[in-house]
Copies of this chain bind each other. A is one copy, B any other.
């Protein structure tokens, strides 16, 4: 049963240390050690290495660690001209101007989804979406899109994951996915966050493979269920246009 691991333990641990900084911004050595369950001295050595290469720096006032400039340097090279999050930005802005609500772009990464791009509504009351956020695949309009239109097999694979919420009614959920698959879009109303609602449509590339979910989200008193269904055609069309932009 043992899956052979072809990875390097010390590196895994160092990367786990780095990933601590995805929540919260400053950590002490002991905090990190406690969080990933390693010895102080081990974490100390890993942090020294990360610091040497500029992936973390320490706040000399508090003596705590924070992300370093190498991360900035890397992220600058993350966005490439063939990257959906760059290519599709103008279309996202156009949709934002059309509907006056925040527009986000999600991709699936294993058993989660990641918001790879976002343009904010300009209204006083608006949904604020941060780029890079990692969210569960079990709730939210874009989650349902990413599952409903995924290649055959992944739906079952994801829902078999031990991390999948067991209290969720599977039968009803699958039924919902099939409905979404037929309708061509998904909605969510105060599903993940109270007071928020969203409509989402799939983006397919030229060969018909799902690459991302386009999502429009806002306060639930503006994005009522009726209003969301009114918006749906515009969103689907934008998603279709985006698909043709991609290779």
Give the B-binding residues of A (Cβ under 8 A).
6-8, 10-12, 14-16, 18-19, 21-25, 44-46, 48-50, 52-55, 66-67, 69-78, 80, 107, 109-110, 114, 116, 130-134
Contacts and interface: CB of A to CB of B under 8 A. Distances in A.
A67 B72 contact: no
B73 A78 contact: no
Contacts of A22: 70, 73-74, 76-77
Contacts of A131: 72, 76
Contact of A53 (B16, B54, B78): B16
Contacts of A49: 7-8, 11-12, 15
B133 A45 contact: no
Contacts of A66: 80
A5 B168 CA distance: 51
A8 B132 contact: no
A54 B109 contact: yes
A123 B107 CA distance: 35
A105 to B, nearest CB: 12
Contact of A46 (B8, B25, B76): B8
Contact of A15 (B23, B53, B67): B53
Contacts of A73: 19, 22, 114, 132-134
Query: Which 3 pairs of residues, A with B, have the shortest CB-CB distance?
Result: A76-B132, A75-B75, A7-B49
A21 B130 contact: no
Given A22-B70, A22-B76, A69-B107, 20 more contacts: A6-B48, A11-B46, A12-B49, A12-B52, A18-B74, A19-B53, A19-B73, A22-B73, A23-B77, A25-B77, A69-B109, A69-B116, A71-B75, A71-B78, A72-B114, A72-B132, A73-B132, A75-B75, A76-B130, A76-B131
A14 B25 CA distance: 23
A7 B76 contact: no
Contacts of A114: 69, 72-73
Contact of A10 (B10, B44, B70): B10
A113 to B, nearest CB: 10
25 contacts: A6-B44, A6-B45, A6-B48, A7-B49, A8-B45, A8-B46, A10-B11, A11-B14, A11-B46, A14-B14, A15-B70, A16-B53, A22-B70, A25-B77, A25-B80, A54-B109, A66-B80, A67-B78, A69-B109, A69-B114, A69-B116, A72-B116, A75-B132, A76-B132, A76-B133
